[in-house]
Amino acid sequence: MSGDILDIGGRLVSNRLFVGTGKFSSYEIMKRSLEEAGAEVATVALRRVDGTSGAENILNYIPKGCFVMPNTSGARNADEAIRIARMAKAGGAGDWVKIEVIQDNKYLLPDNMETLKASEVLVKEGFKVFPYMSPDLSMARRMVNVGASAVMPLGSPIGSNRGVKTRELVEILVHEIKIPVIVDAGLGKPSDACDCMEMGCAAVLVNTAIAIAEDPVGMAGAFSEAVKAGRRAYLAGLPAASAHASASSPLTGFLREDK
């Protein structure tokens, strides 16, 4: 596993658990959780980064060696997402950006078409784009065509902790899309993350399930271990399921039979 490196967006990443930074009870708990997870990538909403105010700056609590990927949380259309991405880059956040465009206030489902528009513009400007999207194969192919560095399909609605309700659709993307597939949103248990990795996802992004756990630091460690276990199982080659039983030991010849 030590040589299992994810080459993505011009960076080499060994830990395939990406962690979001919202909903933690304090920045100190967030920092300890990121450290326990061994996170190398953390997503941060631009509106929580304000170096000019008297409030604490979240970036001061990102562990050394953890790369910050801004997201366009709050954008309701492509133009807003583009503006947020440009502001983040101008503020020194680098060229990675997670594109979130959400107009639906009830289920918080991504607007795939506006996300595609924003992705196309930002890729042309040199950004490494990570679009958060509903798992649709045709749209994912369009994301690939405009130059996205990965696609980030939701497992279930943001913050729902319902697990991988879109599993079959995500699995289609894994088989058909030639860029990394990173499941984002809805993962509620470490076993959900393990499931994603077993099916061949390149990584997962987890926030709520860690941040609101009774012990966020312990949960971060549990998710990290689950991601590693799932990835190891995928690389080992999972056996195909069968509708019939198959004995693991011979059923005859172990007792003396009188003739």
Catalytic residues: 98
- The single-letter code of the amino acid at 130 is F
In our burial notation (b when 16+ CB lie closer than 10 A, e otherwise), range 31-64 reads bbbbbbbbbbbbbbbbeebeeeeeeeebbebbbe
Polymer length in residues for the chain:
259
Parallel, antiparallel, or unpaired: how do β-strands 6-8 and 11-13 relate?
antiparallel
Q: Which of 31, 39, 17, 86 is nearest to 62 (CA)?
A: 31
